[in-house]
């Protein structure tokens, strides 16, 4: 169960090696009430390292998960993930930025970005939310992106996929009212992680710990959407209405 101030007893991190995901997990663990952690991802060895880095305290289990798998695999994954009891908080933090130019040339590359970020995310959320509804409680945090707000030349295939996921999550969050299950969308801007390594930082660039703190505050406050850093909410509210010729010329 989550307590009145948001602290969960169990957490599942989808994208168990994601830097933003792990930072958020560490923030949640500071509440001192979490006893069970599940790290799900593709790279078993990397997951083990991440588990070790979490230190003592909660019992950590690693699970194989690939977003690009078939629906039947996602179903089996959820059965496995719920084996030991309730999932109080689920962090969906996997994502694939991909190479924008390649995705414009190579249909397989384009499809891969959409499969991981959108199709795979929705396909695993469906059985997960079914399980959470059956347990009558739970919170899901989905990492979307500012890129979902308005497509940019630098990453619009990724942006389109995130926009699809973001829209689906907004609809789902409304569907979940009254079920005891909550879904919160987080839209980070440029974050210094391995996903953006070597890229030129965009304005308002931030760090995983700052995203984690904003996410945790949003959870405790009962927010539906969190921007990280929070100022991006207002920046994007303005930029959304920028005329296309100007928007096109923005750097990055």
Partner 1 sequence: MSPEIAGPSPGGAGVRPPGGVGGDDRLLSGWGRTSPTRATVRWPLTDDDVAHCLAEPPQRGVVARGLGRSYGDAAQNAGGTVLEMTSRRGVLAADLEAGWVRVAAGTSLDELMRWLLPRGWFVPVTPGTRMVTIGGAIAADIHGKNHHRDGSFGDHVRALRLRTGGGEELTCSPGTHPEVFWATVGGMGLTGVILDATVALLPVETAWMLVDAERAADLDDLMCRMESRDHEYRYSVAWVDCLARGGSLGRGVLTRGDHAPLAALDRPRRERPRHFDPRPVVTTPQVVPPGLVNRLSVRAFNELWFRKAPRRRVGHLESISYFFHPLDGVVGWNRLYGPRGFVQYQFVVPFGAEDALRGAIELMSRSGAPSFLAVLKRFGRANPGPLSFPAPGWTLALDLPAGSVELAGLLDLMDEIVLAAGGRVYLAKDARVRADHLGGMYPRLAEWSDVRAKLDPAGTVTSDLARRLGL
Ligand X SMILES: NC(=O)c1ccc[n+]([C@@H]2O[C@H](COP(=O)([O-])OP(=O)(O)OC[C@H]3O[C@@H](n4cnc5c(N)ncnc54)[C@H](OP(=O)(O)O)[C@@H]3O)[C@@H](O)[C@H]2O)c1
Position 195 contacts ligand X (CB under 6 A): yes
Does residue 219 contact residue 121 with C-beta atoms inside 8 Å? no
Position 43 contacts partner 1 (CB under 8 A): no
Position 43 contacts ligand X (CB under 6 A): yes
Q: Exposed/middle/buried for 23, CB within 10 Å: 0-12, 13-18, 19+?
A: buried
Position 188 contacts ligand X (CB under 6 A): yes
Position 236 contacts ligand X (CB under 6 A): no
- 104 to 133, contacts with partner 1 by CB under 8 A? 133
Select the residue interacting with ligand X from 68, 126, 131, 235 (CB under 6 A).
68
| Nearest residue (CB) to partner 1, 64 versus 133 | 133
- 135 to 164, contacts with ligand X by CB under 6 A? 143, 145
Contacts by residues 108-114 (CB-CB < 8 Å, ≥ 24 positions apart): 110/157, 112/68, 113/157, 113/158, 113/161, 114/157, 114/160, 114/161, 114/164
- 212 to 251, contacts with partner 1 by CB under 8 A? 216-217, 220-222
- 162 to 191, contacts with partner 1 by CB under 8 A? 178-181
Q: How many degrees, rounded to 5, is the angle at CA 81 between CA 116 and CA 139?
A: 75
Position 232 contacts ligand X (CB under 6 A): no
Q: What's the token pair of residue 18?
A: 């994601």
Closest CB 28 distance from ligand X, rounded Å? 15
Contact region for partner 1 (CB under 8 A) — 26-34, 61-69, 116-124, 149-157? 26-34
Position 93 contacts ligand X (CB under 6 A): yes
Tell me the three state secondary structure of residue 76.
helix
Q: Three-state SS across 81-135?
A: HCCCCCCCEEEECCCCCCCHHHHHHCHHHHHHHHHHHHHHHHHHHHHHHHHHHHH
Q: Which residues participate in catalysis according to the annotation? A: 158
Closest CB 121 distance from ligand X, rounded Å? 8
Contact region for ligand X (CB under 6 A) — 29-37, 38-46, 176-184, 231-239? 38-46
Does residue 42 contact residue 94 with C-beta atoms inside 8 Å? no
Select the residue interacting with partner 1 from 6, 41, 58, 127 (CB under 8 A).
6
How far is the C-alpha of 143 from the C-alpha of 235, rounded, in Å? 19
Closest CB 32 distance from partner 1, rounded Å? 6
DSSP states of 190-222:
SB-SGGGTTSPPPTT-B-HHHHHHHHHHHHHHT
Q: Contact positions toward ligand X, by CB under 6 A? A: 15, 17-21, 41-43, 46, 65-68, 93-96, 116, 143, 145, 188, 190-191, 193-196
């Amino acid at each position: 169960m989550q307590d009145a101030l948001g602290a969960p007893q169990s957490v599942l991190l989808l994208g168990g090696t994601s830097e933003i995901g792990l930072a958020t997990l560490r923030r949640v663990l500071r509440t001192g009430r979490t006893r069970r952690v599940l790290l799900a991802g593709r790279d078993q060895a990397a997951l083990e390292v991440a588990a070790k880095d979490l230190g003592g305290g909660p019992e950590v289990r690693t699970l194989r998960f690939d977003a690009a798998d078939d629906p039947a695999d996602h179903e089996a994954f959820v059965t496995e993930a719920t084996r030991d009891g309730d999932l109080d908080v689920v962090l969906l933090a996997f994502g694939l930025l991909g190479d924008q130019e390649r995705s414009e040339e190579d249909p397989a590359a384009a499809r891969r970005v959409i499969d991981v970020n959108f199709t795979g995310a929705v396909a695993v959320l469906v059985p997960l939310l079914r399980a959470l509804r059956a347990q009558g409680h739970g919170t899901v945090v989905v990492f979307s992106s500012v890129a979902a707000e308005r497509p940019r030349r630098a990453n619009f295939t990724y942006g389109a996929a995130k926009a699809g996921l973001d829209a689906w999550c907004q609809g789902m969050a409304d569907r979940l009212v009254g079920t005891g299950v909550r879904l919160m969308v987080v839209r980070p801007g440029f974050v210094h992680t391995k996903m953006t390594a070597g890229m030129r930082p965009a304005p308002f660039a931030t760090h995983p710990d700052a995203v984690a703190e904003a996410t945790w505050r949003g959870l405790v406050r009962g927010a539906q959407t969190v921007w990280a850093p929070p100022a991006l909410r207002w920046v994007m509210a303005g930029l959304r209405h920028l005329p296309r010729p100007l928007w096109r010329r923005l750097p990055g």
